[in-house]
Amino acid sequence: MQNFQPIINDIVNETKRQKDKGKVASYIPELSNIDPNKFGICILDTNGIEYSAGDSNEQFSIQSISKVMSLSMAFSMIGEGLWKRVGVEPSGDPFNHLSLLEMENGIPRNPLINAGAIVISDILISNLKNPKSDFLKYVQGIANDSSISYDEKVAASEKRTGFRNYAAAYLIKSFGNLKNDVETVLDFYFHACSIRMSCKQLVKVFYIFMNRGNCLQNDNYLKLPQVKRINAIMLTCGFYDEAGEFAFEVGLPGKSGVGGGIVALLPNKFCVSTWSPGLNRKGNSKLGMLALEKLTTDTGLSIF
């Protein structure tokens, strides 16, 4: 593989020149006081070689990026039966969109919108003994890093203001597609979203989707057909109503979160994460999108 250091140094310099860094999410009060000037990037290639620049060691709230990890854990536990509870079509709508069109008979359109991730949380709760600590251990295990943790303040902050997620959960519950009570499901969901990670930690977790289901320590977490499905869903649904734009500009499966993180991967080649807290109008990191567009355009490395 090539040496990515010069290109990511260039990217960091370019992001410093950008005047419009986007707007930090404020609907989760605890996220609103993050410094918009932060920018971090990290690449982990298939040989385990890491390249990083900027604030790549600083932890941030991964938010919706956690939806891929909960999907991965639920899928590996219950297999294809999962698709009876959640669909696989892009929604073309914002992440927190609440409409009956998003759900047919209480089946959310895909696992990476809030409604879908709430159903996945319900599946995990039904199948785990200690859902919150088992899920955290799963993530820590993939990254081989026991310092990864929930941010209780962020989880509590979202619980206080997450009215739309309550509305979505009750709507799904009314169709019979939540087996556990709404409070328990949302407590799990808000905790999963509150996980803190740095760019360096994030690429280690997503290494399994780049490396045929195997982590850096070579433990297997997913079968190859499962990796195919998860990457397909990331490509088509990972950026809400901007998934088409991300495929067009960047050309990699990936996932964003309102904490300003983005993680993306080129199967069998590399995994990349960026963090810049300012968001564009669609709720995706503004400079993160720019950085990844430059990375894949300048290197010619994308799935296309």
Cβ 299 to ligand GLN, closest distance in Å? 27
Q: Does 240 count as an annotated binding residue?
A: yes
Separation of alpha carbons 246 and 255, rounded Å: 10
Binding marks (x or -) toward ligand GLN, 181..220, rule CB under 6 A?
------------x---------------------------
Give bridge partners of residue 261 from the DSSP assignment.
275
For residue 32, the tally of other CB atoms under 10 A from its CB is: 13
Q: How is residue 269 written in tokens?
A: 């080649």
Q: Which is nearer to ligand GLN, 39 or 239 (CB)?
A: 239
Residues within window 209-268 making contact with ligand GLN, judged by CB under 6 A: 257-258
Tokens found for residue 175? 């169709």
Q: What are phi and psi of 144, to 5 degrees?
A: 55, 45
CB of 38 or CB of 269, closer to ligand GLN? 38
Which of 63/91 has CB closer to ligand GLN?
A: 63
> Using alpha carbons only, how large is the chain's radius of gyration in Å?
18
Query: Is 64 or 226 the residue whose CB approaches ligand GLN more closely?
Result: 64
DSSP secondary structure letter of residue 216: T
User: Counting contacts by CB under 6 A, is residue 280 touching ligand GLN?
Assistant: no
The answer to the question of residue 288 lying near ligand GLN (CB under 6 A) is no
CA–CA separation, 276 and 39 (whole Å): 5
Give the Å distances, CA to CA, from 240 to 8, 91, 126, 201, 262: 26, 7, 27, 24, 13
The verdict on whether 67 is a catalytic residue reads yes
Q: Closest-CB residue for ligand GLN?
A: 64
165 lies in the binding site for ligand GLN (CB under 6 A)? yes
| Helix (H/G/I), strand (E/B), else coil: 256 | strand
| Residue 34 to residue 40: CA distance in whole angstroms | 14
What is the C-alpha to C-alpha distance for residues 249 and 265, in angstroms, rounded to an integer? 14
Give the per-residue contact string, 25-64, with ligand GLN (x = CB under 6 A; - = no). Answer: --------------------------------------xx
Residue 20 near residue 29, CB atoms below 8 Å: no
Which residues from 83-102 bind ligand GLN, rule CB under 6 A?
95-96
Cα(98)–Cα(104) distance, integer angstroms: 12
**Measured from the CB atom, is 4 or 150 closer to ligand GLN?**
150
Residues labelled as active-site residues: 64, 67, 189, 240, 258
Q: Provide the binding-site residues for ligand GLN, judged by CB under 6 A.
A: 63-64, 95-96, 114, 158, 165, 193, 257-258, 283
Known binding-site positions for substrate: 64, 114, 158, 165, 189, 240, 258
